Amino acid sequence: MTTPKPTAPLAVLITGCSSGMGRHTALALHRLGHHVYATARRPETLADLAAEGLTVLALDVTDETSMAEAVARVEQDHGAVGLLVNNAGFGLYLPVESATTEEIRSQFETNVFGLVRMTQLVLPGMRRAGRGRIVNISSMGGRFSPPGGAFYHGTKHAVEAISDALRLEVAPFGVEVVVVQPGPTITEFAGTAIDTLQAAPAQEDPYGRFRSDLATMYGKAFSRSRGAVPAEAATKVIVRAATTPRPRARYAIGTMARSTMIARRLLPDAAFDALMRANFPVPSPR
């Protein structure tokens, strides 16, 4: 489906544009004629986007000043943010028993609290303008949680719940909220998750073999041969969610995302647990 070029360009602010879906979405919306502000913690990673004519800004979703300054810049130029794409995030994959409090907090600071704060910062301008759209990049993982994925999937469950409440709260002000739920996508995301799993565990770690098996599984899952969606294809769905005149509340990306979420909705817990065990490694007692 081709997204028609809009008649009124939007002021677009996107987090997490250093790679993957954020980068591709920024370029796609720029080429549709929007005023795109692409952001990353290290703006030097966005030099090629700046060369394309996008405005690039430093933005760390764990830093209040950084977030406020980015929103203020867009509002200074355009009066309000017309479209916010909350894309910044990463995946912490570890057994619940193995993760440190610092690791868990970092996961939620980026994937949940940063998304919430960015939303809070843009909403006053959107309300004044009487319009706006917030696109939250969630995951099919916002609907289920496999072994090893408690914390990443927990953040995406939170994004789903926050978005549902927010959608009802801001609709009277002309602001729309849309959730995008990618399945496995060919980006740098898998590499970060695998690096965490492969960090050297203590010799007595009862989950050592499980972590190794899970890293191997994710290395295979995020490949085209296993049905992972290229970042460019995922971007088309994000752009449609961001620009279609009457957006749905949710857009799933990929056959795996749609089928897994349907199974979670229809199957009883015991049957879905069996499905998880058949498709994911689980720890084995020594």
Active site residues: 18, 138, 152, 156
Nearest to 40 by CA among 121, 132, 107, 110: 110
* Helix, strand or coil, per DSSP, at residue 252: strand
* Helix, strand or coil, per DSSP, at residue 277: helix
Residue 148, amino acid: G
Angle at the Cα of 202 from the Cα atoms of 198 and 205, rounded to 5 degrees: 90
The dihedral of CA 170, 24, 252, 220: what is its sign?
negative
Name 132's bridge partners.
175
What ranges in 109-180 are assigned the alpha helix state H? 114-129, 150-170
